[in-house]
Amino acid sequence: MTISYTKLKSGDWGIRSDQVIKEGESVSVTVKTGAKAGQIKTETVKKVIWTDNKVWLAAIEKKDAPPRGTGGGKSYECEECGDRVTPGSRCWETGMTH
């Protein structure tokens, strides 16, 4: 079974699978590009958006945002890319704002 990240029409990151996936299911997703290529991450299927019974596209549960420090702008480890980042920077893995 191959499951990888894909950009959805909404602009959010989702997953693409060549096997049946169901809402609420935890799946292993392989990172295909970038410095983290080959890494496997666990995601929860939020909603299957589209299928032709050969390919499934699904939204994934968003991870909780890291806690904001009272000092503002404190760096933290991004759950998606694993880098040490500051709030407001862009994640190279997802393209979303930290």
**CB contact set of 90 (below 8 Å; sequence gap of 6+):** 96, 97, 98
Which pLDDT value is given to residue 72?
59
Measured CA to CA, the distance from residue 66 to residue 18 in angstroms comes to 32
Clarify whether residues 54 and 8 are in a common domain: yes
Clarify whether residues 89 and 42 are in a common domain: no
pLDDT by 10-residue block (mean), the chain, 98 residues: 90 95 96 86 96 97 62 74 82 80
At 88, give phi and psi (nearest 5°).
100, -20
Clarify whether residues 50 and 79 are in a common domain: no
Q: Exposed (0-12), middle (13-18) or buried (19+): which is 54, by Cβ within 10 Å? A: exposed
Q: Is the dihedral of CA 17, 46, 96, 91 positive or negative?
A: negative
- The structural domain count of the chain equals 2
Clarify whether residues 56 and 70 are in a common domain: no
Clarify whether residues 81 and 53 are in a common domain: no
* Structure tokens, 8: 């959805």
CB 2 within 8 A of CB 30: yes
pTM of the model: 0.63
- Domain range enclosing 10: 3-60
